[in-house]
Chains A and B, each alone.
Chain A
């Protein structure tokens, strides 16, 4: 705000500094309230306080590490999905794409007896390729991404189960834990460290690293500016020279990359993949992004918000277990939270825009 607070000699009406002062007094609170993630931050504090009060185990460091782990499993994908949503698109295939990636890596390595890193590399190509196809179909056909990725979701869901059954005869991929490269891959994707009773998992670190990188890109680079622009107004963005198509395809490929990353975590943590999993997670990713303040219509939101949204989900999921309540309430509470967040976010937005 430095420019607006400085007195202006050139102000036509001669009241520039006066006006700037009036605005300056309000700006701190208003700037805070007009942050997209402010609603989710309040929500996180409330949810944390509730479980801290009612669930005794929730207060221990070891449970907190489990909460963080559960959050990261949704949160990693929520980062990419939030970027995509800010860019104005959805990806309903994101949940099963994680499993597709894990199955590809596991099967490829096992069937061809290669080092698991080779399988991982093939899976990376496949995952980013799926994102590329989603993006390409979108820009070529102009069909809404909801429909394109819904189709992709159904196809991948079918492929996951059908191909696994065709090759292994069962619903899960073969155990790859004694294959070459498994240990180093597990170290990267699924390691755990104990620090003073606190069990820190690799995914939590990666989650925060990716969130930091994504935030940097979004707020501090040209590409970030373009992501907001293509989501906010695609035609305007194109008219001023933003490469709209490249940005959109790139965002879908980013989701593909993240699906690969989470898929590799699952593969190297559990050694084997259940082919029917992943269904429904795509909505949890979107849920985390929306709770974090992303608009469904695009052009608005932050990655930090999506991180907080995923954290709220993790706290709720584990907190209900620690409180000794029936696990079936998890989804009810997540849904109620989403509704509250949407209402609070839109209320805060209108308040902040009022002057």
Chain B
């Protein structure tokens, strides 16, 4: 695990280009009825590479990763894993290919205990035939250990998930994906609810996963986080790829610029520089003291 101490790492001289992509999307699109959420998306996720996906709210980032994760079928285009076209009809198939996901809504079951959530869908069993049963001891030990590694210390892994804090829930979902993601790890805004320390831990894990040869897809609204770990940046706007560049062609300023909407930001900056602040109406006309 490489140290992540400063925000000003020089661009790393890694060349992930050329390695065969694990996951590849070609011209993928998705419509929900009349709503066209995605169209013509090309994306490659290689081994040992972190692909950051950025974009405004509603741009289609979550829809994109749900297609990769097998939760949605795409309505057009081609999805390849290891060069072979696939059509996942359920997330189970994606998981069986070693593709694990932290969903934006976390995909946890509030009433179930922490350790049962951790292993949900991928439970460990022991014994044979009709006596085949959950290996509860091993699952609890692993769950406890994995959560500790992420730096959260719960009073009990038997407590229902609904009693955890928002950040603790998020760490649970991340720890689970890191544990089960054998080849591709997809993280949809994993640091949204996290404190500085836990965010740091997550970023370290993203790095560690990359160093272990996994392909990582990382969605975030935080350009600093993205630039710290990303090898490749894709900005999505209104369901289409607006911008796609490797780290070597990009500085943090460029990235922030693109994330904030590029040309639109220029216009805004220009406006603000000239001191033309937008006129903001008072919140309450009748409030005494406002003039």
* Chain A interface residues toward B at CB < 8 A: 1, 3-4, 8, 10-13, 16, 19-20, 23, 27, 31, 216, 220-222, 224-226, 228-229, 232-233, 235-243, 295, 299-300, 353, 355
Contact = CB atoms under 8 A, between A and B. Distances in A.
Which applies to chain A's interface (DSSP): helix, strand, loop or mixed?
Answer: helix
Contacts of A8: 148, 153
Given A236-B107, A239-B69, 5 more contacts: A16-B153, A220-B133, A222-B123, A226-B121, A228-B111
Given A3-B144, A220-B133, A228-B111, A237 B156 contact: no
Contact of B155 (A19, A220, A222, A226): A19
Contact of B120 (A31, A216, A240): A240
Given A220-B133, A229-B120, A241-B121, A12 B151 contact: yes
A253 B109 CA distance: 24
A62 B206 CA distance: 68
B95 A241 contact: yes
Given A4-B144, A221-B132, A355 B163 contact: yes
Interface string B152-164: 0111111010110
Nearest to B137: A2
A236 B155 contact: no
A239 B107 contact: yes
B141 interface: yes
What are the 10 tightest A-B residue pairs by CB atom distance, in nearest-first order? A241-B121, A241-B92, A240-B121, A239-B107, A232-B109, A236-B107, A3-B144, A23-B155, A220-B133, A222-B123
Contacts of A216: 133
A346 B225 CA distance: 43
A242 B122 CA distance: 8
Contacts of A221: 125, 132-134
A8 B110 CA distance: 27
B242 to A, nearest CB: 28
B170 to A, nearest CB: 14
A238 B107 CA distance: 9
A298 to B, nearest CB: 9
A166 B33 CA distance: 49
13 contacts: A1-B156, A3-B144, A220-B133, A220-B134, A228-B111, A228-B112, A232-B110, A235-B107, A236-B106, A239-B69, A240-B95, A299-B111, A353-B162
Contact of B91 (A1, A10, A225, A238): A238
Contact of B107 (A31, A240, A299): A240
B140 A3 contact: yes
Given A3-B157, A222-B134, A237-B109, A243 B148 contact: no
Interface centre among B95, B112, B160 (most CB of A within 10 A): B112
A250 to B, nearest CB: 16
B79 interface: no
B153 A242 contact: no
Nearest to A301: B111
A10 B136 CA distance: 23
B71 A238 contact: yes
Interface size class of B (residues with CB under 8 A): 35 or more
Contacts, number: 111
Contacts of B160: 353
A5 B134 CA distance: 22
B220 interface: no
B193 interface: no
B101 interface: yes
A27 B159 CA distance: 11
B120 A13 contact: no
B144 A237 contact: no
A241 to B, nearest CB: 4
Contacts of A27: 156
Interface centre among B92, B103, B111, B160 (most CB of A within 10 A): B111
Interface in B50-109: 69, 71, 90-92, 95, 101, 103, 105-109
Contacts of A299: 109-112
Contact of B90 (A12, A16, A241, A355): A241
Given A3-B144, A4-B155, A222-B123, A243 B92 contact: yes
A235 to B, nearest CB: 7
B141 A3 contact: yes
A236 B123 CA distance: 15
A13 B153 contact: yes
A11 to B, nearest CB: 6
Nearest to B101: A239
A241 B122 CA distance: 8
Given A4-B144, A232-B111, A300-B111, A237 B151 contact: no
A243 B90 contact: yes
A250 B75 CA distance: 30
Contacts of A300: 111
A242 B120 contact: yes
B210 interface: no
A238 B66 CA distance: 12
Contact of B112 (A11, A220, A229, A243): A229
Contacts of B123: 222, 225
Contacts of A243: 90, 92
B232 interface: no
A240 B122 contact: yes
A16 B111 CA distance: 25
B30 interface: no
A82 to B, nearest CB: 15
Contacts of A229: 109, 112, 120-121
